[in-house]
């Protein structure tokens, strides 16, 4: 069973920053597209970003473009989501996931094979 592990969530004030990390023991993340998704209370799941394998394309939701950056550190087998200029509407549980394809399917919010348990991000005004 492949179980992603997210970390780095927390509580910050508006304008603050957090960096989320996603890793999975025994599973080489660089081979696959890795998506970040979030789910706010009472709302559906939303695709936030996706990074394709290798030097592939990166996608961002319009709501986070210019504020969030996703990247890989293959030596650490980790994918990051750097979140700057956080807003209260960014409050959600954030997940990383993969559908084991090498290229992203845009910012799809479904169809992923493996997920983590999520990390809570809370932004207060």
Per-residue model confidence as pLDDT tens digits over 35-48: 999 999 999 999 99
Q: What is the DSSP secondary structure assignment for residue 14, as one 8-state letter?
A: T
Distance CA 27, CA 14 (A): 35
Q: With pLDDT > 70 as the criterion, what percentage of the chain qualifies?
A: 100
What confidence score (pLDDT) does residue 111 get? 92
What confidence score (pLDDT) does residue 2 get? 81
75 Cβ neighbours under 8 A, 6+ residues apart? none
Distance CA 31, CA 114 (A): 14
Distance CA 73, CA 87 (A): 26
Task: List pLDDT tens digits, range 75-120.
Answer: 999 999 999 999 999 999 999 999 999 999 999 999 999 999 999 9
Q: Which of 86, 65, 67, 69 is nearest to 17 (CA)?
A: 86
Q: Which of 88, 82, 90, 100 is nearest to 4 (CA)?
A: 100
User: 55 in helix, strand or coil?
Assistant: coil
Residue 15 region, left (φ>0) first, then alpha (ψ -120 to 50), else beta?
left
Which residue is associated with the tokens 């700057």? 84
Radius of gyration, alpha carbons of the chain: 13
What confidence score (pLDDT) does residue 43 get? 95
């Amino acid at each position: 069973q492949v179980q992603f592990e997210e970390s780095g969530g927390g509580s910050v004030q508006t304008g603050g920053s957090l960096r989320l990390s996603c890793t999975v023991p025994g599973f080489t993340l660089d081979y696959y597209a890795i998506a970040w998704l979030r789910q706010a209370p009472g709302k559906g799941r939303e695709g936030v970003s996706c990074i394709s394998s290798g030097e592939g394309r990166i996608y961002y939701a319009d709501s986070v473009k210019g504020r969030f950056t996703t990247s890989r550190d293959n030596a650490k087998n980790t994918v990051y989501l750097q979140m700057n200029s956080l807003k209260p509407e960014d409050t959600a549980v954030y997940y990383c996931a993969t559908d084991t394809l090498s290229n992203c399917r845009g910012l799809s919010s479904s169809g992923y094979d493996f997920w983590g348990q999520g990390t809570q991000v809370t932004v207060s005004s």
